[in-house]
Every structure is written in structure tokens, then in C-alpha cells.
Chain A
Amino acid sequence: DAGVIQSPRHEVTEMGQEVTLRCKPISGHNSLFWYRQTMMRGLELLIYFNNNVPIDDSGMPEDRFSAKMPNASFSTLKIQPSEPRDSAVYFCASSFGTTITPETQYFGPGTRLLVL
């Protein structure tokens, strides 16, 4: 079975440009998560969706960041305008949630973003 798919795998852009990261979760999973990883701050949860609805976006740094999940098989994370401090690895993860157990999140390969 295909795991979580992210694109692009690498992105280099200039400050001020719009960046769009894409994610396809594992089929059948109902929760989707966007994380950012940097050396300084480690892994941070930016936002997560349950059944395509944003549940917790308290980790989104500022208004320059936005995320959507138009359907169960696709999500985007957009940064507009991008800044050098946004340079990081962005992970998408998905899980199948129940109310009984904390489900395992499976991560995509990540998108390495460099903003010059």
C-alpha cells in the first residue's frame, strides 16, 4: 500500500514568493497532520484535520500560513509570502482515528523548503 505522499520533495524559492506544499494521506485515514521540523525547535504540529475539518490550527505561525483539505485524499499547506525563517522540513502525517486508542500517525517523506 502507498504511504503518505508529499510533493514536492525539495523546494527552493526566493523570499516573498508563494509556496504550496501538497499531501496525499493514506487511503482510509481520517486525520491529517502538518508538522514543521527545524534544528532549533524540533518537530512542531502546525495544524491537523479530522474528516477534512481543521480541528487545531494553534501551531500555525502566522497569517502567512494557511492549510486546506478539500477532500479526504488531498491537503495543501501554503505560505504566502515566504520568508527565510520558514526554511524547514515540512511533514504531512495521517492516521485512522477512533475514540478508544491514540492512533499511530504515519509520516510522509517530507518537503525540504529553502527560502533564500
Chain B
Amino acid sequence: AQKITQTQPGMFVQEKEAVTLDCTYDTSDQSYGLFWYKQPSSGEMIFLIYQGSYDEQNATEGRYSLNFQKARKSANLVISASQLGDSAMYFCAMRAVYGNNRLAFGKGNQVVVIP
């Protein structure tokens, strides 16, 4: 079974600063994918970034980057130059390549960006 751990308390971040959200995972699968989703107060789940377990480079998507440390089983999300619109809950998730399509989610990290 896969397990995602996000244990940081709610975070306040100054606008224009960077923030790192921690995510650790536990799996016996060798091939898997890691995802980050954003859920603003309006409630929708927005896909941000994906990292494959065999990808040698850390994934980047605009201001989002994923600090992937496979040996440590961590997949931290870095948001650079925070904006007020980044205030949201952020969820880390993973799914094995082989097997069923079940996406395992963490409990989420709350981020509030302050001006």
C-alpha cells in the first residue's frame, strides 16, 4: 500500500518569497508517479506538477518545482515568488505505474500568502 505524509502545520508566507511544502511517501513499487494538486478556497482541485520515479531531472512548471529525493522518498514542492493567489491547500499524491489506478493523497498543506 502507498502512504503519503504531509505534516507541516499551516504556513504563512510573505508575498514574493519562496515556500517549500514537504511530502514524504512510502511505497514498495519501483515505478511510480508523484503529483501535486492545489485546492483554493473555491474548492476545485488543480493539477500543478508531475514527477516520474525514473525521471533524472526534477520537474518544473513555471513557478512550481519539485525537489525529488528518491532515496529519502521525498517529493517537496517549491513555489517561487509567492503570489496572493497561491493561498490554498496543497496536496501531494502518488500512483504506481503498474497495478490499479488508485491515487493516494496526503492530508494537505495549508498555505496563506500575506502581502
Contact status A48-B43, CB under 8 Å? no
Q: Are A56 and B101 in contact (CB under 8 A)?
A: yes
7 closest Cβ pairs, A-B complex: A102-B33, A107-B45, A102-B95, A43-B105, A109-B44, A56-B100, A102-B97
Contact of A45 among B50, B102, B107 (CB under 8 A): B102
Within 8 Å of chain B (Cβ to Cβ): is A52? no
Interface residues in A34-73 by Cβ distance below 8 A to B read: 42-43, 45, 48, 50, 55-56
Interface of B with A (CB < 8 Å)? 32-33, 35, 37, 43-47, 50, 52, 91, 95-98, 100-103, 105, 107-108
- Tell me if A42 and B97 are in contact (CB < 8 A): no
Q: Does A105 contact B (CB under 8 A)?
A: yes
Contacting pair B91 A43 (CB below 8 A): yes
User: What are 14 residue pairs bridging A and B, where the CB atoms are less than 8 Å apart in the complex?
Assistant: A33-B101, A42-B105, A42-B107, A50-B101, A56-B101, A93-B45, A95-B101, A100-B97, A101-B33, A102-B97, A105-B47, A105-B103, A108-B44, A109-B44
Query: Is B108 a contact of A45 with CB atoms below 8 Å?
Result: no
Closest-CB distance, A88 to chain B (whole angstroms) = 12
Query: Which residue on B lies nearest to A109, using beta carbons?
Result: B44
